[in-house]
Amino acid sequence: MKKNKIKILTTLMLAASLTVSAVASAATFKDVKSTHWAYSAVEWGTKDGIVKGYPDGTYKPDKTVTEEEFLSMLIRSYNDLPDTQNPPYWSYKYYAKAKALNYPLSSNRVAPINRTKVAEIVSGTQGKNYTGTNAIKYMLAEGLAAGKTGDKSVSGYRGTDVLTRAEAVAFIKNVINNRDSDQLLPRPTKPSTPVTGVPDGGSTTAPNKGLEVIGADKADSTLMNRGNAVNKALAGTGLVTTINTEQGVVVITDPKTNNNIFVFKDDSYKDPAFGVVIKYDYLVDTTAKEWRTDYVNAMAKAMTALGVNSGSTFVNSFKDPIYKGTNATYKVGSKTFHITPVNVGQGVISE
């Protein structure tokens, strides 16, 4: 049973690229249940061919979206474009269309897109030329977006946050439902009249709220204690600790990228047949080809707080899985933990 549990958790959590084979309906996605806040949007997007799922039956709603991924989804929601011969990159046809319409694009199409850039591009599709807070105010005033925190203000919109796959399709569905034209409109060369009536609110950066709890059910005391212990251990690192009551996991996220670097699950207190399963990710900077020491150290602190770290033995055992792709083990007391790499800087730790 334990092996099956590891397979299930690994399937649910490991990352993949956006442009792989489609899954027909959100109803088939393992990680987008009918209770998920973006369920209807994902269902709509997959049926219309705007977004795609993964061969393992997941949608990965919390995975970040790059500018080229968002732009291609947005343009496909109007009408897909004919393929070009020998394009220099897969999203070339979407960028050619966007540039012809004067949409404000960044210089790095593969970087995660933040919510402010989304507002600038979407307002451009509506025939407006807005940047920064004016673009955000336009989105809120026209009903093209809602505040991420429930506060319909510039600060509530959270413009510095990067966009997730769930948010991306929800954004686009909202645009399609509330747009003034069925066609992509060109963005004027001159700035449009500033929007009034939308408050700035407080700070545009996310406040440090300490431990965050998500899910429909109240966390039990064991899960809450684990989350509080990890949150305390990571004080000052800038990383965010979350507990998901539906999945029964403790998650560490880098708010700068919205990447989940650590997911911990241990249901042995409910059923002895299950043990510790940890998913780790993004431990290597693939551009610089360097080990993310800050992430590994944060993991070590979290695992110490959770009772599954043996200090330098654990950290040293990571070298072969990360750099050579080989399995490794380490011990904590009478327990043996197995490190199974899946990709560069990504894998699973289990009892």
- Report pLDDT for 238: 84
Contacts 24+ apart (CB under 8 A), 256-262: 257/64, 257/112, 257/162, 257/282, 258/62, 258/64, 258/112, 258/161, 258/162, 258/164, 259/64, 260/13, 260/62, 261/295, 261/298, 261/299, 262/298, 262/299, 262/302
Portion of the chain with pLDDT greater than 90, in percent: 22
Q: Are 97 and 75 in contact (CB under 8 A)?
A: yes
- Report pLDDT for 14: 37
- Report pLDDT for 230: 92
Structure confidence at residue 4 as a pLDDT band (50, 70, 90): very low
- Report pLDDT for 296: 86
Q: Regarding predicted confidence, which is higher, 220 or 190?
A: 190
Tens of pLDDT, residues 135-179: 999 988 888 887 665 567 888 888 888 888 888 998 898 888 888
Q: Regarding predicted confidence, which is higher, 195 or 24?
A: 195
Please list, in sequence order, all residues whose beta carbon lies within 8 angstroms of the beta carbon of residue 56, skipping any fewer than 6 positions away: 11, 16, 30
- Report pLDDT for 190: 93
- Report pLDDT for 123: 94
Tens of pLDDT, residues 211-249: 777 765 566 888 888 999 998 898 888 888 988 887 888
Number of alpha carbons in the 13 Å side-chain half-sphere of residue 178? 17
- Does residue 56 register a pLDDT over 90? no
- Does residue 28 register a pLDDT over 70? no
- Report pLDDT for 72: 93
Portion of the chain with pLDDT greater than 70, in percent: 83
- Report pLDDT for 210: 65
Q: Residue range 96-121: average pLDDT?
A: 91
- Report pLDDT for 118: 93
**Residue 337, φ and ψ in degrees, nearest 5:** -110, 140
Tens of pLDDT, residues 272-294: 888 899 998 888 776 666 778 88
- Report pLDDT for 166: 87
- Report pLDDT for 58: 87
In this predicted structure, which of 21-25, 52-56, 125-129, 312-316 has the lowest mean pLDDT? 21-25
- Does residue 6 register a pLDDT over 60? no
- Report pLDDT for 215: 64
Residue 247: C-alpha distances to residues 42, 76, 100, 179, 295 (Å)? 20, 33, 45, 36, 23
- Report pLDDT for 244: 81
Strands 212-214 and 240-244: parallel
CA gap 262, 133 in Å, rounded: 33
- Does residue 203 register a pLDDT over 70? no
Structure confidence at residue 125 as a pLDDT band (50, 70, 90): very high
